[in-house]
Chain A
Amino acid sequence: MQQGQRRSFLVYRFVPLVCVPVLAGCVSEQSMLHPAGEDAAAIANLFWVMAAGTVVIWLIVMGITVYAVLGKKRPKTERFADRFILVGGVAFPTITLAALLIFGLALLPDWVRSHRPDLRVHITAEQYWWRVAYEMPDGSLINTANELHLPASQTAEFVLTSTDVIHSFWIPNLGGKMDVIPGRTNLWRLKPTDTGVYRGVCAEFCGPSHALMAFPVVVHEPAGFETWLAGEAADVEEREGHALFVSAGCGACHAVRGTSADGAIGPDLTHFAGRRTMAAGTLPITADGLQSWLIDPSHHKPDVRMPAYASLEATERDALIAYLLDLK
């Protein structure tokens, strides 16, 4: 490689490659280091304690290494060497690991199923989106998708299952992750403490669009959450564009509650325009985004099951987009 080429490789490839993951940690909406929930606070605490301990141990080991290389070459007795290995190599790691084990075990969630949570949300992970259903006090389910709303300082229980492959449900700001396994129901509880908008992700590789399987998480004050849930539970009336929505075939896969569109294959679109993102955190909800999505969904999201609607007349597509953007 030429000198110039090497430098340009360093500047354009290597430096961003190293810096991007590090700088990505500075964004707080998807960060374990900005806890907004009880579990996340405990995990962040564990991280900082371990990080500080690691730095201290690293400095000691490096100090000894430097001393061994540069220090005065005075012979040590065999007895000293044996003791040194026994204390530094056996006793110290054993005690440190035991302390970490105890510290880690103390963080394990201690809830039992008999204590009822304040809210129960059923979540079904599919390639590559999240089916979300809120359990109402009467036991009925309110379907929505790809966005989670939670009340602050209340315990939410998630009933997690999958229809295809193993996914993992993770909202770093609120707590740890839980695998979502087909044929199995996993329970997971989180207690958000701070209101705000966070980002949840799929944390288990599930296919080509694994990284495009995210969801915004909105933590409200409890009263604000009740208002939101009431709005989400409300049906919408059939309005202009509905006939096109059905005739173009959208209603076969997508439901719009209150209308004849009741497909259950894709995400529920009842209050689509009220959400923050579309296609599970892939695009913002804008006319341009929808246009581009409808023409070629797999361009934005490889392996997506939704077919392309490029064959639709441009006017029909515009009308469909207007209808979708009206589903507040």
Chain B
Amino acid sequence: MSKEDPVTAEARRETGSGTDLWSVIISPSIWALHFLVCYVSAAIYCQKLGRDAPLSDIRLLVIAVTVIALVGIFWSSVRLWRVHDRSLTDDDFEYEHNTPEERHRFLSHVALMLCVLSAVAVIYVTIPMLYLESCR
């Protein structure tokens, strides 16, 4: 991390007082949708084609959905990063006080952490699909 003047650095942060809950739940929602699309489509596919059916077609769908989900989470993260700026951890990021600005910061911080969690979860949901060969 650069040793820039804390005041300048603070000024670069996006300020705001919004408590838009969508920004908090957008990435977990993407995770939930991704999970449902993967499992529901694989279940229908395997129900229609039988236990020995190869998973190649559905694998492409899952990979495509995963790419879309990760792009969505990344977009959400970039938006939140503008509030957070310098470091993924909160070492120089004040949000413990009862002001609208710090409430906004707190929610943004939580939302950013949820983005990381959702991205990891989406990847974990996808990994088995890369290894399974058939519907069995």
Q: Within 8 Å of chain B (Cβ to Cβ): is A106? A: yes
Q: Are A112 and B52 in contact, CB atoms less than 8 angstroms apart?
A: yes
Is chain A's binding surface mostly helix, strand, loop or mixed? helix
The contact of B89 among A85, A101, A110, by CB within 8 Å, is A85
Q: Within 8 Å of chain A (Cβ to Cβ): is B9? A: no
Q: Are B51 and A113 in contact, CB atoms less than 8 angstroms apart?
A: yes
Q: Within 8 Å of chain A (Cβ to Cβ): is B46? A: no
Interfacial chain B residues near A112, Cβ < 8 Å: 52, 133-134, 136
For chain A, the bracket of interface size reads 20 to 34
Among A64-83, those with CB < 8 Å from B are 77-79, 81-83
Among A27-56, those with CB < 8 Å from B are none
Q: Within 8 Å of chain A (Cβ to Cβ): is B114? A: no
The contact of B127 among A79, A105, A108, A113, by CB within 8 Å, is A105
Q: Can you give 24 A-B contacts (C-beta < 8 A)? A: A78-B91, A79-B87, A79-B89, A81-B91, A82-B87, A82-B90, A82-B91, A83-B89, A85-B89, A90-B116, A98-B123, A98-B124, A101-B124, A101-B127, A102-B127, A102-B131, A105-B128, A105-B132, A106-B131, A112-B134, A112-B136, A113-B51, A113-B52, A113-B136
Q: Are B120 and A86 in contact, CB atoms less than 8 angstroms apart?
A: no
Q: Are A79 and B91 in contact, CB atoms less than 8 angstroms apart?
A: yes
Interfacial chain B residues near A106, Cβ < 8 Å: 131
For chain B, the bracket of interface size reads 20 to 34
Alpha-carbon gap, A79 to B90, bound state (A) = 8
Tell me the smallest distance from the CB of B73 to a CB of chain A, in Å.
15
Q: Within 8 Å of chain A (Cβ to Cβ): is B88? A: yes
Other A-B pairs, 12, CB within 8 Å; known A83-B89, A112-B133: A79-B92, A81-B91, A82-B89, A86-B88, A90-B116, A97-B124, A98-B127, A102-B131, A105-B127, A110-B133, A110-B134, A113-B51
Among B1-28, those with CB < 8 Å from A are 1
Interfacial chain B residues near A105, Cβ < 8 Å: 127-128, 131-132
Alpha-carbon gap, A113 to B52, bound state (A) = 7
Interfacial chain B residues near A82, Cβ < 8 Å: 87, 89-91
Q: Within 8 Å of chain B (Cβ to Cβ): is A227? A: no
Alpha-carbon gap, A90 to B114, bound state (A) = 13
Q: Are A108 and B131 in contact, CB atoms less than 8 angstroms apart?
A: yes
Interfacial chain A residues near B89, Cβ < 8 Å: 79, 82-83, 85-86
Tell me the smallest distance from the CB of B77 to a CB of chain A, in Å.
15
Interfacial chain B residues near A96, Cβ < 8 Å: none
Tell me the smallest distance from the CB of B35 to a CB of chain A, in Å.
16
Encoded as 1 (CB less than 8 Å from any A CB) or 0, chain B from 103 to 136 comes to 0000000000000100010011001100111101
Interfacial chain B residues near A110, Cβ < 8 Å: 133-134
Tell me the smallest distance from the CB of A287 to a CB of chain B, in Å.
48
Alpha-carbon gap, A232 to B9, bound state (A) = 84
Minimal Cβ-Cβ distance residue in B for A113 = B52
Minimal Cβ-Cβ distance residue in A for B123 = A98
Alpha-carbon gap, A110 to B135, bound state (A) = 10
Minimal Cβ-Cβ distance residue in A for B133 = A110
Minimal Cβ-Cβ distance residue in B for A105 = B131
Q: Within 8 Å of chain B (Cβ to Cβ): is A94? A: yes
Tell me the smallest distance from the CB of B113 to a CB of chain A, in Å.
9
Minimal Cβ-Cβ distance residue in A for B89 = A82
Alpha-carbon gap, A97 to B91, bound state (A) = 27
Q: Within 8 Å of chain B (Cβ to Cβ): is A114? A: yes
Tell me the smallest distance from the CB of B13 to a CB of chain A, in Å.
17
Alpha-carbon gap, A177 to B116, bound state (A) = 36
Tell me the smallest distance from the CB of A104 to a CB of chain B, in Å.
9
Alpha-carbon gap, A156 to B66, bound state (A) = 38
Q: Are B132 and A108 in contact, CB atoms less than 8 angstroms apart?
A: yes
Interfacial chain B residues near A101, Cβ < 8 Å: 124, 127-128
Alpha-carbon gap, A102 to B128, bound state (A) = 8
The contact of B52 among A77, A81, A83, A114, by CB within 8 Å, is A114
Alpha-carbon gap, A101 to B128, bound state (A) = 8
Interfacial chain B residues near A98, Cβ < 8 Å: 123-124, 127
Alpha-carbon gap, A95 to B134, bound state (A) = 26
Alpha-carbon gap, A98 to B120, bound state (A) = 9
